[in-house]
Each structure stands twice: as C-alpha cells, then as structure tokens.
C-alpha cells in the first residue's frame, strides 16, 4: 500500500498541477500564473495543502479560503487514477483539524450536479445541500440592448439617477450605502432565508471593496433622487476572458418597475464597452426564478450547474 503524506502546497513546485486541477473542478481554464497571483494577494486567507506518494507524485489537494466571516470555502480534489486509495480521507481529516486558526463555523463546497461520486463523499462527511446553482452565459455579440433605451429613459424621467460607484467617488460613505443595498437585496434572494453574506460593513469593505476584482465603474447603482434612496444595483467585473455579473438586486419597495432589467443592461454595456469582453457569465440558485426569467429574456444560455453543500462545525 502506498505511503501518503500531506504538506503545505508550494506555489513554485505545485501550482502548475493545481491550476490544471482547478480547471477540472471549475470547468474553466486557469493559468499557473493566475493562480499564483490570486494566492499572493490572499495568502493570509488561504490554506492550501497537497497529498503526495513516497515518490513525490502529487495525488490531490485541498484549498481552504476564509473570505467571509465564519465561513470557509473549500475545494478538495484527488486525481481520478489515485482515488479510493486514502488520499481524500487524509486530506479531509487534515482540513477539519487545520482550519481552527480561521475560526470558521461552517464549511462550504461546490460540487458539479453531474458528479455523484464527490457528492457522496461530501454527504458521508456531514455536508448537506444548501442550494442548486445554474450557471448562465451570454454572448454579448448577439445581445440587443436597444429595446431597453426607452425603459431607461422613462425611469430617468421619473426621477431615477443611473450612476456607478466610480462616478460617485467610491468613498467610504458611498461604500456604506452600497453595502446596505447589497446586503438587503442579497438577503431577499429566494432561498437565502434572510442570511447575511457579510457580518458587517468592515467585512464587506475588506472582502469586496478592497479586492483586486472590484471595479467601481462596474458597480452600477440607481438612485431615487426624490427620496434620496439607493434602490437598485448590478455589480460586474472581469475574470480572464469574460465578465461576471456578481449580483443584481432591487429594493423590494421599488419592484415591478423594470429597474432590475434597466440596471443590468447598464452593467452589460459596461462589460461590452469598457471591459471589452464578448461574453458574460453569471449563476442563480434554482429558487431565484424572477432573475432567471430576466436573464433568459436577455438571451443567456443555461449550462450544467452545481450544488452548494455546507457543513456546520461543532
């Protein structure tokens, strides 16, 4: 029987292989350079370990990311030819015993909805399905935004200001308003059950506004000028060769006025005209039918999804 040992992942020695495995996990190409850059900017939040045999061959790895309060997001992978030999068990056992410094109370993992083997592995270790997400893709070359010109013009006539965090100065004051709108609309997403994504403004500022992917120009906002209320938002940024629409939300008091469609169109225009990408990705949990309907109307195409599974640590 092979001797399996675990050790911290070495960026220079291991990240070439890890980037290939991440590509398999996420069904998206990831370069070694990109993984190194991502890790260097967040190394105080990430714990990566690898499993290897006595000859030094990599068998698998885990990557634990503590990006939000009390939540640790985990990737765990074992090379198909080395499965059922104990590497996965060792990696997971070490993961649970090693994350205490992060003070996480919950583990979260994303598993492809076609990967029954990985789901069984997670369920045996106490993980339960939290959401089922559907990724969606939009080809901007075929997206026709002209029908929304009149919608946007009408909303402007009604006193709604279309702007962005960049235009507003991206100050702490505006970031606090963005946090309040983001938090309240995120909690309202069907299936969220009123759960906060951030523990405080400071948590939001650290994990969103101070991240390298955060683009103030891509944080689109609609303000009701009569009331001075921030009522709708759509956040978008670039990742590799495509843009990703992170969140679109509307204050529940202002729903039914096509604000979600209007603000999302401004985000897509930013992706096309400023970020210079030809495709936009997003995803929705299957309970969020209103936003799925909007994206289908825009021309988004659904692709195979993934389950978000969580485990509460005792």
Question: How deeply is 100 buried, as exposed, middle or buried, from its count of CB atoms within 10 A (0-12, 13-18, 19+)?
Answer: exposed
With 60 as the cut, is the pLDDT of residue 1 above it? no
pLDDT band with cut points at 50, 70 and 90 for residue 101: low
pLDDT at 246: 95
Provide mean pLDDT across the span 6-14: 96
The residues spanned by each domain of the chain are 5-104, 136-303
Percent residues over pLDDT 70 in the chain: 97
- What contacts 244, CB < 8 A, 6 or more positions away? 236, 237, 238, 280, 281, 282
pLDDT band with cut points at 50, 70 and 90 for residue 25: confident
pLDDT digits (tens, 9 = 90+) for 219-237: 999 999 999 999 999 999 9
- What contacts 146, CB < 8 A, 6 or more positions away? none
pLDDT band with cut points at 50, 70 and 90 for residue 27: low
Backbone angles phi, psi at 244, to 5 degrees: -130, 125
With 90 as the cut, is the pLDDT of residue 98 above it? no
Output the six-digit token pair for 124.
Answer: 């045996």
Top pLDDT among 105 and 273 is at 273
With 90 as the cut, is the pLDDT of residue 259 above it? yes
| Cα distance between residue 198 and residue 205, in whole Å | 9
pLDDT band with cut points at 50, 70 and 90 for residue 195: confident
The DSSP 8-state label assigned to residue 81 in this structure reads G
- Collapsing DSSP to helix, strand or coil, 195 comes out as coil
Output the six-digit token pair for 164.
Answer: 């962005």
Q: Which CATH number fits domain 5-104: 3.30.470.20, 1.20.1090.10, 3.40.630.30, 3.60.20.40?
A: 3.40.630.30
CB 61 within 8 A of CB 278: no
Percent residues over pLDDT 90 in the chain: 80
Domains 5-104 and 136-303 share a fold: yes
pLDDT at 86: 93
pLDDT digits (tens, 9 = 90+) for 268-285: 999 999 999 999 999 999
With 80 as the cut, is the pLDDT of residue 103 above it? no
> What's CA 248's distance to the chain center, in Å?
13
pLDDT at 183: 94
Provide mean pLDDT across the span 179-196: 88
pLDDT digits (tens, 9 = 90+) for 57-80: 999 999 999 877 688 999 999 999
What is the residue-averaged pLDDT of the chain?
93
pLDDT digits (tens, 9 = 90+) for 107-160: 999 999 899 999 999 999 999 999 899 999 999 999 999 999 999 999 999 999
| Cα distance between residue 182 and residue 198, in whole Å | 10
CATH class of 136-303: alpha beta
Q: Which residues of 12-25 are buried (b: 16+ CB within 10 A; e: fewer)?
A: eebbebbbebbeeb
């Amino acid at each position: 029987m092979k001797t399996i040992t675990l050790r911290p992942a070495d960026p220079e020695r291991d990240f070439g292989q890890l980037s290939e495995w991440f590509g398999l996990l996420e069904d998206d190409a990831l370069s070694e350079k990109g993984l190194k850059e991502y890790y260097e900017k967040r190394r105080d939040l990430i714990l990566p370990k690898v499993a290897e045999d006595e000859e030094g061959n990599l068998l698998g790895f885990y990557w634990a990311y503590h990006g939000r309060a009390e939540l640790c997001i985990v990737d765990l992978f074992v090379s198909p030819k080395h499965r059922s030999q104990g590497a996965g068990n060792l990696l997971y056992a070490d993961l649970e015993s090693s994350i205490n410094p992060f003070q996480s109370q919950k583990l979260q993992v994303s598993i492809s909805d076609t990967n029954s083997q990985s789901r069984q592995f997670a369920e045996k270790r106490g993980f339960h399905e939290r959401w089922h997400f559907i990724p969606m893709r939009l080809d901007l070359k075929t997206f026709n935004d002209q029908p929304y010109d009149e919608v946007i013009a009408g909303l402007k006539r009604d006193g709604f200001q279309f702007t962005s965090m960049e235009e507003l100065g991206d100050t702490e004051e505006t970031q606090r308003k963005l946090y309040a709108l983001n938090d309240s609309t995120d909690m309202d997403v069907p299936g969220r059950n009123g759960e906060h994504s951030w523990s405080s403004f400071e948590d939001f500022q650290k994990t969103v506004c101070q991240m390298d992917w955060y683009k103030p120009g891509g944080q689109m906002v609609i303000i009701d000028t009569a009331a001075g209320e921030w009522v709708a938002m759509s956040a978008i940024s670039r990742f590799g060769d495509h843009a990703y629409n992170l969140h679109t939300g509307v204050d529940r008091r202002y729903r039914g006025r096509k604000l979600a469609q209007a603000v999302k169109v401004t985000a897509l225009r930013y992706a096309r005209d400023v970020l210079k990408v030809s495709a936009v990705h997003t995803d929705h949990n299957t309970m969020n039918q209103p936003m799925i309907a909007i994206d289908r109307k825009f021309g988004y195409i659904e692709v195979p999804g993934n389950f978000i599974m969580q485990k509460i640590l005792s």
